Homo-oligomer: A and B are copies of this chain.
């Protein structure tokens, strides 16, 4: 597994650079999704669960960003998902230029990838990644049931910038005190248009609906079908 050490960028205007990257990705036929959550919410296992539906229907790849280790990228590689490991050198988030470095490294590593869907698995952190536009067209955050239904109230920016909210580990609902109505109340107060999906990456429940939604979103972003 090749590990790419990202260079820290101190740009004056990350928002402008993110808009530029979005245009560059559009020209390359790439629909980028920024996948965010707290540590341990199940980002990688959700991607593995989605792969069952994506495979054969959509060309896709994953950039795994971590402070350290290559556990997640090795897991995806073993499952046959084109992926690359990015190390942030201790940084708590990725900005647009770090994302661009990742995309370029991914394309160099996977020359057969000719565009389609691409996922940036951001650092597990509900605070800092929410503050930086990565150039993605879809921002998806995962909240797992054991973390509790009050997370939107505590980390509001994450729920404001995300257009998709996935509640993972619903197989554990009987074991934890998680009030869906309370959680949705917090989330929709912050972001009335947020799309909410309930899944268990472990059992597969709810994953198909999420996969179909993401494939439709990618089709819309890219303006074409069957990529």
Interfacial residues, chain A to chain B (CB-CB below 8 A): 38-40, 66-69, 71, 90, 92, 123-128, 131, 144, 146-148, 150-151, 153-157, 169, 171-172, 175-176
Contact A154 B39 (CB under 8 A): yes
Whether the Cβ atoms of B40 and A92 lie closer than 8 Å is no
Least distance between A75 CB and chain B CB atoms (Å): 10
A176's closest neighbor in chain B, by CB?
A: B172
Decide: A153 and B38 in contact? CB cutoff 8 A. Answer: no
Besides A125-B125, A125-B126, A146-B172, 19 more A-B contacts (Cβ < 8 Å) are: A38-B38, A38-B39, A40-B147, A66-B154, A67-B154, A67-B156, A68-B154, A68-B155, A69-B150, A69-B153, A71-B150, A90-B131, A92-B92, A124-B155, A125-B127, A125-B128, A146-B169, A172-B172, A175-B175
Contact between A124 and B92, CB atoms less than 8 A apart: no
- Copies of this protein in the assembly total 2
Cα(A90)–Cα(B128), bound, Å: 9
Smallest Cβ distance from A74 to chain B, in angstroms?
Answer: 11
CB distance from A83 to the nearest CB of B (A): 16
Contact partners of A146 in chain B: CB under 8 A: 40, 144, 146-147, 169, 172
**Inter-chain contacts of A148 with B (CB < 8 A):** 40
Does the CB pair B153–A71 fall under 8 Å?
A: yes
Partner of A127, one of B128, B144, B151, B176: B128
Chain B residue contacts of A157, Cβ below 8 A: 67, 90
A175 and B71 alpha carbons, distance in the complex (Å) = 22
Nearest-CB residue, chain B, relative to A146:
B146
Contacts of A169 on B, CB cut-off 8 Å?
Answer: 146
- Whether B92 contacts A151 by the Cβ 8 Å rule is no
